[in-house]
Amino acid sequence: MRSRLLSGIYNGGIHRLLICSCRSRADLARDVCHPATCLLNNGITVERHDAVRDKLARFIKCMRPNAVVVMEPNQIAGHRQGNPKRPDILVDEGARSYAIDVSIVEPAAQSRMQHATLSSLNTPGGAAIQEEEAKKLEYRGGAHFATLVPFVVESTGRLGPAALAFMNRVSGDAAGKRGKFLLELSVILARAMGRYSVHTRSRLLPTGGNQ
Ligand SMILES: [Zn+2]
């Protein structure tokens, strides 16, 4: 909630410098999204990603019991800065296969808001669409064995267009199960947001004393 309101890691009335102890020495009063991108919070970011991936894989198995669902497959489907990239989940339905790449993005991050054509300030879901485009480039020409699904979730819970289309296809008329999945997804995201705040508070620079 705090993050969604961009209110930072404390309620108002805290009159002290809030400087993160990471290498960036980010001023948390100015950059309220920093906890979600701070390298010292990377463990939370990885756990959040894996929790969403696992939840999605379970949902697909539930909706498509005959499909073969492989977590972290070996197939190289693209390259990122010269390094091979593998999808998070491979779904083989026989007639069609899907290579799913899960990512979670922060729409309030400066880089997302300052994007030239898909600013999250002006375009609803702009951050997710930006990431979808980036994923398509990473997997360009590499995922011939499956249809790429850049499953992008904004940290506020909004699904990107490709993720939404995939969810609708997999869940069909089962609106109840889809709703339950989305609710559980929002719990994962909210829990991570809370952990970002708590972990960042616990390691503010001591120089950020009362002003
Ligand atoms: Zn930091």
pLDDT, tens only, 26-46 = 888 888 888 988 999 999 999
Q: What is the pTM of this model?
A: 0.87
Q: How far is the CA of 155 from the centre of ligand 1 (A)?
A: 18
Compute, in angstroms, the gap from residue 156 CA to the centroid of ligand 1. 20
pLDDT of residue 81: 76
Note the Cα 171 to chain centre separation in Å. 21
What's the pLDDT score for residue 208? 46
For ligand 1, the distance from its centroid to the CA atom of residue 28, given in whole angstroms, is: 9
Which residues face 90 on adjacent strands?
70, 99
Distance 119 CA to ligand 1 centre (A): 24
Distances in Å between the Cα of 162 and the Cα atoms of 29, 151, 205 are: 34, 6, 41
CB atoms within 10 A of CB 98: 22
List phi, psi (to 5°) of 91. Answer: -115, 120
54-94 per-position pLDDT tens digit: 999 999 999 999 999 999 888 877 777 777 888 999 999 99
CA of 195 to the centre of ligand 1 (A): 14
Ligand 1 centroid to 132 CA: how many Å? Answer: 26
- pLDDT score of 210: 45
Q: Domains in the chain and their CATH numbers?
A: 50-192 (3.40.1350)
Of 34, 25, 22, 42, which is closest to residue 197 (Cα–Cα)?
Answer: 34
Sites in the chain below the pLDDT cut of 70:
1-16, 143, 207-211
C-alpha 25 – ligand 1 centre gap (Å)? 6
d(CA 93, CA 116): 38
Q: Please report the pLDDT score of residue 184 as a whole number.
A: 97
Task: Quote the CA–CA distance of 4 and 18 in Å, as a whole number.
Answer: 19
Rounded to the nearest whole angstrom, what is the distance from the C-alpha of residue 145 to the centroid of ligand 1? 40
